[in-house]
Amino acid sequence: MVEVSNRAILHALKTKLDKESSGWDELLPEIYWAYRTTPNTTTGETPFSLVYGSEAISEAEAGMRSYRIQMYGEHENVNRRISELAEKDEMTDTVFERLLQYQL
C-alpha cells in the first residue's frame, strides 16, 4: 500500500514538474493535500477520512463560511465528533472488507 501511495505522489510530482521545472519541494504540501483528500479507488474513502473519521475542510471552504463552518458550535462539535469517530470504526471495517476482496 505504501508503494502505491508513493507511486501516486511521484506521478503527481512529475506531472507538476513538467509544467514547472523546479521547486519540487514547494509542491509537496499541495500534492500531499490532493492525495489525502481524493477518494481511493480501492477503499472508496479518502486517506484523510480513514485517519480522522471526517472529511477535511479546505482553506477555501473555511474562508467562505460554508454550511459546516456556519453550523459550528463547541457543544454540537463534540457530539458530532463522537458520532464521526463511531462511524469511522464502521468505515474502517468496510474498507478492510473491500481490501480483502480486492486482493482476491
**In this predicted model, what pLDDT tens digit does every residue of 12-43 receive, in sequence order?**
888 888 766 678 888 888 999 999 999 988 88
Cell of 55: 472529511
Cell of 88: 469511522
Note down the domain range covering 59. Answer: 2-103
Domain count, the chain: 1
- For residues 46 and 17, what is the distance between their CA atoms, to the nearest angstrom? 24
Q: Give the model confidence (pLDDT) of 40-95 as tens digits.
A: 888 888 999 888 888 888 777 766 766 666 766 777 778 888 888 888 888 888 88
Residues 6+ apart with CB under 8 A from 53: 81, 84, 85, 87, 88, 91
